[in-house]
Amino acid sequence: MRTEHAITSAIVVKTTFEATHCWKNIPDNHPSYFLKFPHRHLFAIELMLKVSHDDRDVEFFDFKSKLDKTLREMFPKKVGELLPDLGSMSCEMLAERLLAVFEKQGCVIAKVFEDDENGSIAMFDMNTKLTGDLQVD
Ligand SMILES: [Zn+2]
């Protein structure tokens, strides 16, 4: 439905990604020093994509499948390991990386949370990004 006012539509796709990571450079006297060692999280990931019309411009299931595939390819499980390892990648780093990877598909916001509790949001300037042209793969 369109009105006389400009409407910008976006879709939101969520997924989870089970992996390990660590904070390699944590100061020795930090109270959360245990983060220096690899530990498991269920990363809750949410991407918002600008769409150009309101009738499945981007199909939810297709994009979620693409996001899941991208995560598996970015962080493949090594032989003998139970979970993929993100190394010392933080939520902030992963959110920025996903935003860059999906920029051409219209991604304007990427959220990454550890165990759906604490996390990070990376975003483009909504005023400029939402009015730009998109490239569809
Ligand atoms: Zn962690």
Expressed in angstroms and rounded, the spacing between residue 36 Cα and the centre of ligand 1 is 9
Expressed in angstroms and rounded, the spacing between residue 38 Cα and the centre of ligand 1 is 8
What is the pTM for the complete model shown? 0.87
- List, in order of start, the domains of the chain with CATH numbers: 11-123 (3.30.479.10)
Expressed in angstroms and rounded, the spacing between residue 23 Cα and the centre of ligand 1 is 7
The Cα angle at residue 13 between residues 55 and 109, in degrees rounded to 5: 100
Task: Give me the residue label for tokens 């245990």.
Answer: 34
- Among 35, 5, 11, residue whose Cα is nearest residue 22: 35
- Among 79, 84, 99, 87, residue whose Cα is nearest residue 16: 84
Could you give the percent of the chain with pLDDT greater than 70? 89
Lowest-pLDDT range, 1-5, 26-30, 91-95? 1-5
- Among 8, 41, 1, residue whose Cα is nearest residue 109: 8
Expressed in angstroms and rounded, the spacing between residue 109 Cα and the centre of ligand 1 is 21
Rounded (to 5) percent helix, strand, coil in the chain: 25, 30, 45
Instruction: Say if residues 45 and 110 touch (Cβ distance below 8 Å).
Output: yes
Mean pLDDT of 114-126: 92
Give per-residue pLDDT as tens, 44-78.
999 999 999 989 999 999 999 999 999 999 999 99
How far apart (Å, rounded) are the C-alpha atoms in residues 112 and 93?
9
Expressed in angstroms and rounded, the spacing between residue 9 Cα and the centre of ligand 1 is 33
